[in-house]
Structure 1
Amino acid sequence: MILKLLGDKTRLTMMKILDSHDCCVCEFVEIFQVSQPSISQHLRKLRDVGLVKEERRGQWIFYSIRKEHDYYPFVRQVLEQLPDQEYRLKELEANGSRITCC
């Protein structure tokens, strides 16, 4: 199940980003240039298996990796093989999208 979830490029990239930063749906919409329902569906799948947790901050919900999950050590090894995604967040900060919901 975990491999199937991580087999999707969008979810895999989301996990890479979430491994070092909390993000909200609107940030992922900007990063991936897809609809909010599509992003929410990806996050729901990750949340349903317990890999991702959510935290409400005001009117926004932020997502992060649940590092206490039994499979996190495995997921972490997979994520370490991926290219760094910091540039995506820096682009959001540069165009002001990273702070619009925070």
Structure 2
Amino acid sequence: MISTSIEMDKAAVLLKLLGDKTRLTMMKILDNHDCCVCEFVEIFQVSQPSISQHLRKLRDIDLVKEERRGQWIFYSINKTHEFYPFIEQILSQLPSQDDKLNKLEEQGSRITCC
């Protein structure tokens, strides 16, 4: 485990972002899987603008990166972020969210935008 000292102000910003259950769940999913907005819309049953707003907040501080694949954008955690070790410790304490993606696959909804 990497021991990284993090300033209190930066820790507060990170924890505030992760204090939202939707964003925290997104981060847990993205820790192991790339996802597009449409998948999160299905998982959380909320509007695309709502999901995009959550992702924008994570992207604005570079916690999440995006990659264009054709006309679609896929999101993943930026594991090179200087505070990823801090975030990784938090995420490691949370239950797996793979069941949410498995359910999408069973429904044939995984990566429906592609």
When the two structures are superposed, what TM-score results if normalisation uses the length of structure 2? 0.88
Partner-residue secondary structure (3-state), 2:68 = strand
Task: Give deviations 1:24-51, integer Å, cap 9, x for gaps.
Answer: 0000000000000000000000000000
Q: Runs of at least 4 residues of structure 1 off by over 3 A? A: none
Which residue does 1:100 correspond to in 2? 112
Q: Which has the larger radius of gyration?
A: 2
How many residues align? The count is 102
In the alignment, structure 1 residue 73 sits paired with structure 2 residue 92: no
Shift of 1:100: 1.5
Equivalent residue in structure 2 for 1:6, among 10, 18, 29 = 18
When the two structures are superposed, what TM-score results if normalisation uses the length of structure 1? 0.98
Point out where structure 2 has 5 or more consecutive residues left out of the alignment: 1-12
The residue identity in structure 1 corresponding to 2:49 is P
Point out where structure 1 has 5 or more consecutive residues left out of the alignment: none
Partner-residue secondary structure (3-state), 1:50 = coil
Distance in 1, matches of 2:96 and 2:16, equals: 22
Partner-residue secondary structure (3-state), 1:74 = helix
RMSD: 0.6
The residue identity in structure 2 corresponding to 1:101 is C
1:11-90 matches, cutoff 5 A: 11-90=23-102
Partner-residue secondary structure (3-state), 1:20 = coil
Partner-residue secondary structure (3-state), 1:44 = helix
Shift of 1:99: 3.3
Partner-residue secondary structure (3-state), 1:31 = helix
Partner-residue secondary structure (3-state), 1:53 = strand
